[in-house]
């Protein structure tokens, strides 16, 4: 849509986002972008391709810059000519310095929201998905993941839908859970606060990465890992979630090439005797006898 002269970016975004069929989380992310880039009170007349490009140059994190570029291209697609000139860079997989499993469990068990932490860590759920789980979502050991809670506590469709197989002990946790309205923000803040108390740094998405990494390290079929993570593309599972550390590479190289096969010492071969070229001995004798016969010299 075109903008109204004198309209601020915040006003333009409010109208534009209200007219589009976007997930609330996506719309909130776009609003966060214009806040982060300090553009809310900028007049729309000042928003040019060069203006947006220069604002993006202030972002040093590759993945954050990519997220903001996507938001700007979508938000101003009808208002800024040649907006697609803002190139969307390739994302870089985030590498976590995982605490030990014991330390991560200590953080989860310390918080009032251990149930949601266990679902993230041992079922690979996203934080909003974990906050939406109820006993009705479990059949046998199959957990149906199809909804999530947004930051306002409302239930919305989850980012990806599917079924996750969970261990028996976690099934019991789900069956005994008493549903309540808990927002992702409350769980996130609680994990950070209790982790800080015991000197362990965690965040909700780290648990999902850890879950996938454990599956891959234990040599689970990659297709199983993809289904458990509910990814549509195996490249996402292996390229962005299955984290490989230097110690893993060191071990793989050592196990594969640490003991090279030494060739046996070769014995010197005796040179073959070169025989004289010509007829064999028997052939020569036969010819000689025939010659004697022709000469009448035969005995």
> What's the pLDDT band for 2 if we cut at 50, 70, 90?
confident
The mean pLDDT value for 268-287 works out to 59
Q: What is the structure's pLDDT at 94?
A: 79
Q: Identify the bridge partners of residue 202 per DSSP, sorted by sequence position.
A: none
Q: What is the structure's pLDDT at 232?
A: 87
- 129-143, 192-206, 276-290: least confidently modelled range: 276-290
> What's the pLDDT band for 269 if we cut at 50, 70, 90?
low
Neighbouring residues of 129: CB distance < 8 A, sequence distance ≥ 6: 119, 145, 147, 148, 158, 159
Q: What is the structure's pLDDT at 240?
A: 62
Q: What is the structure's pLDDT at 193?
A: 94
pLDDT: which is higher, 279 or 24: 24
What is the C-alpha separation between 33 and 68, in angstroms, rounded? 6
Strand-pair category, 155-165 with 142-149: antiparallel
What is the C-alpha separation between 40 and 31, in angstroms, rounded? 9
Q: If you write DSSP's letter for every residue of 105-123 in order, what string do you get?
A: HHHHHHSTTHHHHHHHHHH
What is the C-alpha separation between 81 and 146, in angstroms, rounded? 38
> What's the pLDDT band for 261 if we cut at 50, 70, 90?
low
Q: What is the structure's pLDDT at 197?
A: 92
Q: What is the structure's pLDDT at 283?
A: 64
In contact, 155 and 147? CB cutoff 8 Å: yes
What percent of the chain shows pLDDT beyond 90? 61
What is the C-alpha separation between 119 and 174, in angstroms, rounded? 9
Q: How many CB atoms lie within 10 A of CB 225?
A: 23
Among 78, 3, 84, which residue's Cα sits nearest to residue 42?
3
> What's the pLDDT band for 237 if we cut at 50, 70, 90?
confident
Q: Identify the bridge partners of residue 147 per DSSP, sorted by sequence position.
A: 157
Q: What is the structure's pLDDT at 299?
A: 52
Neighbouring residues of 50: CB distance < 8 A, sequence distance ≥ 6: none
pLDDT in tens, 168-225: 999 999 999 999 999 999 999 999 999 999 999 999 999 999 998 888 888 888 888 8
The mean pLDDT value for 73-97 works out to 90
The mean pLDDT value for 285-292 works out to 64
Q: What is the structure's pLDDT at 93?
A: 75
- 1-5, 135-139, 288-292: least confidently modelled range: 288-292
Q: If you write DSSP's letter for every residue of 177-201 in order, what string do you get?
A: -------HHHHHHHHHHHHHHTT--
Residue 292 has pLDDT above 80, yes or no: no
Burial class of 28 by CB neighbour count within 10 A (0 to 12, 13 to 18, 19+): middle
Q: Which uninterrupted H or E stretch holds 156? A: strand 155-165
> What's the pLDDT band for 273 if we cut at 50, 70, 90?
low
Residue 145 has pLDDT above 80, yes or no: yes
Q: Which uninterrupted H or E stretch holds 165? A: strand 155-165
Burial class of 241 by CB neighbour count within 10 A (0 to 12, 13 to 18, 19+): buried
């Amino acid at each position: 849509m075109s903008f109204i002269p004198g309209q601020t970016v915040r006003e333009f975004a409010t109208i534009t986002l209200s007219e589009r069929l976007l997930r609330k989380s996506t719309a909130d992310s776009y609003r966060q972008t214009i806040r982060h880039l300090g553009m809310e009170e900028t007049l729309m007349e000042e928003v040019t391709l060069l203006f947006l490009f220069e604002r993006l140059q202030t972002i040093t994190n590759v993945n954050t810059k990519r997220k903001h570029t996507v938001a700007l291209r979508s938000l101003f697609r009808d208002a800024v000519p040649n907006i697609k000139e803002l190139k969307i860079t390739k994302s870089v997989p985030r590498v976590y310095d995982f605490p030990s499993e014991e330390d991560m469990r200590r953080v989860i068990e310390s918080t009032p929201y251990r149930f949601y932490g266990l679902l993230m860590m041992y079922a690979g759920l996203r934080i909003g998905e974990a906050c939406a789980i109820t006993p009705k979502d479990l059949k046998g050991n199959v957990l149906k993941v199809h909804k999530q809670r947004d930051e306002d506590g409302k239930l919305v469709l989850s980012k990806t839908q599917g079924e996750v197989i969970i261990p028996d002990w976690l099934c019991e946790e789900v069956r005994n859970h008493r549903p309540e309205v808990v927002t992702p923000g409350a769980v996130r803040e609680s994990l950070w606060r209790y982790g800080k108390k015991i000197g362990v740094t965690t965040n909700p998405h780290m648990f999902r990465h850890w879950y996938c990494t454990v599956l891959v390290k234990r040599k689970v079929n990659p297709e199983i890992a993809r289904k458990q993570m509910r990814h549509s593309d195996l490249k996402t599972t292996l390229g962005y979630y299955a984290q490989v550390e230097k110690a893993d590479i060191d071990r793989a190289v050592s196990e594969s090439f640490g003991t090279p096969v030494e060739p046996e010492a070769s014995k010197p071969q005796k040179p073959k005797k070169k025989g004289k070229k010509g007829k064999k001995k028997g052939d020569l004798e036969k010819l000689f006898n025939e010659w004697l016969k022709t000469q009448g010299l035969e005995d």
